[in-house]
Amino acid sequence: MAKILITGSADGLGKMAAQLLIARGHDVILHARSPQRAKEALAATPGARDAIPGDLSSIAETKAVAARANELGPFEAIIHNAAIGSGERKRIVTADGLSAIFAVNSLAPYILTCLIGRPKRLIYLSSGLHRNGDASLEDLNWERRPWNGFNAYSDSKLHDTILAFAVARKWADIYSNSVDPGWVATKMGGRNAPDNLTEGSETQAWLAVSDDPAARTTGHHFYHKHLRDPHPAAASPEVQEKFLAACGSISGVLFS
């Protein structure tokens, strides 16, 4: 039995992955953005051991989530699933002065990766849209560019893939990978999404616990349990270091 933390697991793919892993006998800790949502997540996911509340758009609350996770850990695997979609028609600014999409989708996984005790496996939810992301990593916070929610989301999913590959390169003792779950009919994906919803959560659950040699790997990008070519920039040590440095400067949390 493995102990697994899944961020953003009150609904959608995070909830589905939690249900899969619980059904297979694993010990799952949920996460939701508020105490009320955490309570609802526990009620909706029988068998989950606990749910950590915390708004990942806040640097302080993200640090608090990491602290609580360390109290409940150590973990064999962490699935970084929490995300905001591309539907924001204007740039929403957090209390820290950050674009909400960047704060939740990009910076929060970085902070949690740095502050939670290292698990054996790390899985970062990316997207096929990450190939449209801006690999220059300029204006991460969308302060100079005209706002475009689709592009901001694409950037953030590239960031997640970069982070997964950076961790794989720097922490050779763990498995770190990114996953494209497909365009599936969740609240974020919309009802007309064409990909298979059931398969949308299988790969991250498989990477978290499977003894299949194909799952015991690192520094790869997956789609439905198969390798898929990532944006070429994700594998660049120079790009990785630039992203880690930027996140460290913004959050005050340094990657070890």
Strands (E), 116-202: 121-125, 175-180
How far, in Å, are 1, 10, 11, 90 from residue 30 at the CA level?
16, 7, 10, 30
How far, in Å, are 17, 25, 28, 205 from residue 3 at the CA level?
13, 10, 6, 12
Residue 107: what are its φ and ψ, rounded to 5°? Answer: -75, -40
Catalytic residue selected from 15, 63, 157, 242:
157
Q: Are 41 and 48 in contact (CB under 8 A)?
A: yes
How far, in Å, are 27, 67, 116, 144, 181 from residue 13 at the CA level?
17, 24, 22, 33, 8
Catalytic residue selected from 110, 124, 153, 223:
153
Strand (E) or helix (H) holding 50: strand 50-53
**In whole angstroms, what is the distance from residue 162 CA to residue 177 CA?**
10
How far, in Å, are 68, 101, 111, 246 from residue 17 at the CA level?
21, 22, 22, 31
In total, the chain counts a number of residues equal to 256
Known catalytic residue: 157?
yes
If one counts every other C-beta atom within 10 angstroms of the C-beta of residue 138, the result is 10
Which of helix, strand or coil describes residue 169? helix
Known catalytic residues are 153, 157
